[in-house]
Amino acid sequence: MAKKKANNKAVTEEIVVTPTVEETTTAPVMEETPVSETPTTEEPAQTTTVVAEEKQKGRPIVPGCARQIKLAARAAKAAEGKYVGRGRPVIEGSARQQRVAALNAKIAAGIPIKPGRPPMVKPEVVVAIEPAQTTTEVQTETAVEA
């Protein structure tokens, strides 16, 4: 047989206490009625809501421990509006932060940002063409060789 897991959530009960017409005239004894039942009298009845909670389950909170100090520091940062997350802290003025600031400025200006790597700029290669030799230059070169 498999064991059932215990439900760790706190159970709350809600009880609505309403006085009846007979009790209002004689004694101040209250009657408990479930939430689903509501009085249907013409007079508005006074209702009192009583919430009963189970005691808290789990590990107790120890004030002054390292975890509570860390959580308090994180809450203080969040109250100041700083980013509270995991990972390395942000170093203001770094090259990455300058790139991020430039990107945010472009987005604020309405310049469309395309995802991915920008296209490579290919330089144009121009081959130098030597001028053609004239017939007189060819004749002089052959005469010199002979």
Q: Give the pLDDT of residue 44.
A: 58
Q: What is the C-alpha to C-alpha distance for residues 113 and 100, in angstroms, rounded to an integer?
A: 13
- pLDDT tens by residue, 15-64: 556 655 555 555 555 555 555 555 555 655 677 777 777 777 888 889 89
Q: What is the C-alpha to C-alpha distance for residues 40 and 143, in angstroms, rounded to an integer?
A: 130
Q: What is the mean pLDDT of residues 132-145?
A: 68
Q: What is the C-alpha to C-alpha distance for residues 84 and 76, in angstroms, rounded to an integer?
A: 10
**H or E segment at 109?**
helix 95-109
* pTM beyond 0.85, yes or no: no
